[in-house]
Amino acid sequence: MNYHKSRTMLLLGVGICLFILFVGIITAKNWIIVVGAIIVIVEAIQFSIFYRCPHCGKSLTCVSGPVPEHCPHCGKELKYIL
């Protein structure tokens, strides 16, 4: 998995998690809230493993905002690869 797919999965996972947490709070079902929390943990682990520069392998999690055009560590261009 590349860094673009990892970031997309994180954003999708957070959106799904927020929806699940909202449903859990509205229905007062604790097991639904636990499922949402598990999704957050899994997404955080996947993000920390796969959101890396394809050239130097260092984490891109230090970059806030959109996906950077260049790696902040090695300076090489980060091309969008599907």
How confident is the model at residue 30, as a pLDDT?
86
Task: Give how far Cα 25 sits from Cα of 34, 36, 68, Å.
Answer: 11, 11, 36
The b-or-e profile of 15-42 (16+ CB within 10 A means b, else e) is eebeebbeebeeeeeeebbeebeebbee
Surface-to-core class of residue 60, CB atoms within 10 Å of its CB (0-12 exposed, 13-18 middle, 19+ buried): buried
Work out the mean pLDDT of the chain and round it to a whole number. Answer: 82
The pLDDT assigned to 62 comes to 73
What is the value of pTM for the model shown? 0.68
